[in-house]
Amino acid sequence: MANHKTKLELTWIGKENRPKLEPRILVEDQGKSYHAKFRIKTGKSADFADERRLTSGQDSSPRKSAQSADEDFFDNRLIFGDNLLALKALEQEFTGKIRCVFIDPPYNTGSAFTHYDDGIEHSLWLTLMRDRLELIWRLLSDDGSLWITIDDNEAHYLKVLCDEIFERANFVANVLWQKSHTRENRTDISAVHDHVLVFAKQHEIFKNKRNPLPASEDQLGRYENPDNDPRGAWASLPAHAKAEKGRRKAQFFTVTTPSGRKVDTPAGRCWLYTEERFREMVEDNRIWFGADGANVPRVKKFLSEVKAGLVPSTIWFHSEVGTTGTAKAELTSLFPGETPFSTPKPEALLQRVLLIATNPGDLVLDSFAGSGTTGAVAHKMGRRWIMVELGEHCHTHIIPRLKKVIDGTDKGGITEAVGWKGGGGFRYYRLAPSLLEKDQFNNWIISKKFNPAMLAEAICKLEGFTYAPSETVYWQHGHSTENDYIYVTTQTLTREQFQKLSDEVGEGRSLLIMCGAFRVKNLDEFPNLTVKKIPKAVLSRCEWGRDDYSLEIAHLPMREAVSDQRSEVSEEDTAGNPRKSRTKEERRAQASLFDLNGKKEVPS
């Protein structure tokens, strides 16, 4: 057998199928955009500066891309449309710029798939997530992180899928969130937690830049000063540690307490310090032997030394970040008399994520916006945000909720904790329709819904140019470099027009012309011009005319009715021989989700 390394890979039915996404443009609907009537000064700059010092222990200046913390943010984005197309639409402008992505995707509980073939829904769910996660990875900054809430139904498959996309070394943690503090007695084991999978774009960078958590009142209450130490309150910690490989012999010695008692470390443990360093700690009054001087020594940790914050742990209790019930109550207070979402997330949960993963002014993205909690919390915490939602609750719940946040009338959630008073705003966008549509003869043509400006922007995005129309030069619709431009027109251009354009572009610059047609026999006459016809030049680029890449249950293959007595013989095979029906176990073996070689082995 050849000695070669194999790759552990998650495989599923249809994994090789990848959509050719159209990079749509975003069209603002100013009637739905909303901004505070005036800039509100709330003292946020001081609050946010304090937060930076508390949570980072690093340079508290904002990131270069962010506004200063005492400014309101008006350019947040709420996008209505399919989230896969929306992520693709954001790719050109925001690649490498998103500091934190929080998503709460559909959990795939199986309740919606009762009548469909076994295992098919899992494959479609994994494809749905894979396509979106790959775009999210590109959008994240090098110090960025992804946080995904998920339950046990898909958490473990999702972990392996993320390992494949982000690489296993960039897995940060599986946080357990206590979503309920009540017991469900109608089941075998009551599930009271959800998972929060955390992945970094680059783990080492994230590790150095992620923020610690501020100490809670309960944690601060553990600090006392029984010996009236002038350095203030302190808490005691064990003075010994596990005797792992690499520990020095000098860390194994007998301690004599002030009372004369001899103390050795427990079996398998050693002292934190060498004997010399231990004596220095005793002389500095940093070792506590108890009030009578006879206790096992402990290290004094002063409150003044831990105010920089605490390392986040992987268990988040309901008393710290709330429950699903907490979130429902928050929504009910915003929308009295309405039935809340089934699995909303409490604002305190999002607050903790953003405290760890971001600083004021950073960009936060949620492509499964749901009830809009991510945007509401990010807004109150002075982060910039982008949310995407396809459901009609984008208009019935998210927009009204954000308006209340901006107006300062949302008094619930984390409002009081962060001292939020109101301000800022957001812009509402719809995904533009597909650039191409079929005419009556089934030919692809430019959509009649596109005006010249929309067409120019769409072609710029397709060709990788930055859309930046000049106010003075008609042929400068965008640029890829400072000397490379693009001109988009549906006209049929003549040789005279080409000559004029070539002369105006001049030497040292170049122009890509995207036009409907042209009447020039020899384009080599114009070395600074490149010409492509539209729509012909872009026909093969994308899947045109598709507006929905969501999990469409109506399109799943229906399960065939199966009688109690299974037939021994089914349809004929290609050779005309009768073929036995496969058992459920055989079907599952063929559609195995795990395969060490990344190849599917089909039983003969």
CA 18 remoteness from chain centre: 21
What span, in angstroms and rounded, lies between the C-alpha atoms of 595 and 315?
Answer: 32
How sure is the predictor about 50, in pLDDT bands with cuts at 50, 70 and 90?
Answer: very low
Q: What is the residue type of 249?
A: K
Distance CA 321, CA 108 (A): 24
Reported as a single tens digit per residue, the pLDDT across 427-470 is: 999 999 999 999 999 999 999 999 999 999 999 999 999 999 99
pLDDT at residue number 102 = 98
Which helix (H) or strand (E) is 269 found in, with range? strand 269-271
pLDDT of 497 > 90? The answer is: yes
CB count in 10 Å sphere of residue 419? 13
Cβ-contact 21, 128 below 8 angstroms: no
Residue 13 binned pLDDT confidence (cut-offs 50, 70, 90): confident
Residue 246 binned pLDDT confidence (cut-offs 50, 70, 90): low
Higher pLDDT, 411 or 552: 411
- Amino acid 121: pLDDT: 74
Pull the structure tokens for residue 183: 């017991």
CA-closest candidate to residue 399, choices 433, 419, 376? 376
Query: Could you identify the residue written with the tokens 């040789």?
Result: 495
pTM (two decimals): 0.80
What is the full DSSP assignment across 62-90? PPTTSPPTTS----EEEEES-HHHHHHHH
Give the lowest-confidence range in 35-39, 219-223, 378-382. 35-39
- Identify the pLDDT of residue 3: 47
Q: Output the pLDDT for position 557.
A: 52
Q: Lowest mean pLDDT: which of 36-40, 122-126, 446-450?
A: 36-40
On the 0-12 / 13-18 / 19+ scale of CB atoms within 10 A, 209 is: buried
Closest CA to 264 of 244, 233, 243: 243
Confidence of residue 109 (pLDDT cuts 50, 70, 90): low
What distance in Å separates the CA atoms of residue 406 and residue 273, rounded to the nearest whole number? 54
First CA to last CA across the chain, in angstroms? 22
Spatial CB neighbours of 573, under 8 Å, sequence gap ≥ 6: 579
Among residues of the chain, what percentage have pLDDT more than 90?
68
| pLDDT-wise least confident of 57-66, 213-222, 472-481, 559-568 | 57-66
Q: Is 255 left (phi over 0), alpha (psi -120 to 50) or beta?
A: beta
User: What is the average pLDDT across 229-251?
Assistant: 88
Q: What is the pLDDT of residues 139-157, one digit of tens each?
A: 999 999 999 999 998 899 9
Q: Over 483-552, what HEC string results?
A: CEEEEECCCEEEHHHHHHHHHHHCCCCEEEEEECEEECCCHHHCCCEEEEECCHHHCCCCCCCCCCCCCC
pLDDT of 337-367, one tens digit each?
887 788 899 999 999 999 999 999 999 999 9
Between residues 484 and 566, the one the model is more confident about: 484
Residue 108, pLDDT score: 65
Q: Band the pLDDT of 293: cuts 50, 70, 90.
A: very high
* Percent of the chain predicted with pLDDT > 70: 81
Instruction: Give residue-wise pLDDT tens across range 294-350.
Output: 999 999 999 887 756 788 999 999 999 999 999 999 999 999 988 778 889 999 999
Token pair recorded at residue 249: 């012999």
The DSSP result for 147-204, as a single string, is: EEEE-TTTHHHHHHHHHHHH-GGGEEEEEEEE--SS--TTSSS---EEEEEEEESSHH
Q: Is 28-57+64-109+120-212+312-431 assigned to CATH 3.40.50.150?
A: yes
594 has pLDDT over 90: no
pLDDT above 50 for 513: yes
Mean pLDDT for all residues in the chain: 85
- 194: tokens are 């959800």
Determine the average pLDDT of the residues in 477-503.
Answer: 97
Does residue 489 have a pLDDT over 60? yes
Nearest to residue 44, comparing CAs of 424, 536, 575? 424
Report the relative pairing of strands 234-238 and 298-302 from DSSP bridges: antiparallel
Taking every pair of C-alpha atoms in the chain, what is the biggest distance, in angstroms?
104
Q: How far is CA 80 from CA 158, 405, 475, 551, in A?
A: 26, 19, 32, 17
- Please report the pLDDT score of residue 80 as a whole number: 97
Task: Pick the range with the lowest mean pLDDT from 143-157, 208-222, 343-357, 542-556.
Answer: 542-556
Each residue's pLDDT tens digit, 185-201? 888 898 899 999 999 99
Tokens of 220: 């601060």
Q: Which amino acid would we find at residue 453?
A: A
Q: Quote the CA–CA distance of 230 and 218 in Å, as a whole number.
A: 23
Compute the C-alpha angle 442/448/449, nearest 5°: 125
Beta carbons within 8 Å of 482's beta carbon, 6+ residues apart: none
- Residue of 464, 175, 443 lying closest to 314 (CA atoms): 175
Residue 114 confidence (pLDDT):
45
pLDDT of residue 123: 84
37-46, 60-69, 174-183: range with highest mean pLDDT: 174-183
Residue identified by tokens 């106010």 is 471
Residue ranges of the domains in the chain? 28-57+64-109+120-212+312-431, 217-306, 436-538
d(CA 553, CA 115): 10
